[in-house]
A and B are shown apart, each in its own frame.
Chain A
Amino acid sequence: QSVLTQPPSASGTPGQRVTISCSGSSSNIGGNTVSWYQQLPETAPKLLIYMNNQRPSGVPDRFSGSKSDTSASLAISGLQSEDEADYYCATWDDSLKGVVFGGGTKLTVL
Chain B
Amino acid sequence: QVQLVQSGAEVKKPGASVRVSCKASGYTFTSYEINWVRQATGQGLEWMGWMEPNTGNTAYAEDFRGRVTMTRSTSTATAYLELSNLRSDDTAVYFCARGAGADYFYYHLDVWGKGTTVTVSS
Min CB distance B100 to A, Å, is 8
B16 within 8 A of A: no
Which B residues touch A110, using CB under 8 A?
none
Is there an interface contact between A56 and B59, defined as CB atoms closer than 8 Å? Answer: no
| Contact pick for B108, options A2, A51, A94, A100, CB 8 Å | A51
- Residues of A participating in the B interface, judged by any CB pair closer than 8 Å: 2, 31-33, 35, 37, 43-47, 50-51, 56, 88, 90-92, 94, 96-104
Q: How far is the CB of A21 from chain B (nearest CB, A)?
A: 16
Contact at B104–A32, with CB atoms within 8 Å? yes
Once bound together, how far apart are the Cα atoms of A45 and B101, in whole Å? 18
7 closest A-B pairs (Cβ-Cβ)?
A35-B108, A50-B108, A99-B47, A92-B104, A44-B112, A104-B44, A101-B45
Q: If the complex has contacts A88-B45, A98-B47, are A32 and B105 also in contact, measured as CB distance less than 8 A?
A: yes
Q: What are 25 A-B pairs with beta-carbon distances under 8 A?
A: A32-B105, A32-B106, A33-B108, A35-B108, A35-B109, A43-B114, A44-B112, A44-B113, A45-B37, A45-B45, A45-B95, A47-B108, A47-B110, A50-B100, A50-B106, A51-B108, A56-B110, A97-B59, A98-B49, A98-B50, A98-B61, A99-B35, A102-B44, A103-B44, A104-B44
Known: A33-B106, A92-B105. A46 touches B44 (CB 8 A): no
A101 in contact with B114 (CB, 8 Å) = no
Residues of A within 8 A of B61 (CB): 96, 98
Q: Min CB distance, B12 to chain A, in Å?
A: 22
Does B53 sit at the interface, judged by CB under 8 A? no
Contacting A at CB under 8 A, from B25-44, are 35, 37, 44
Cα A32 to Cα B105 in complex, Å, equals 5
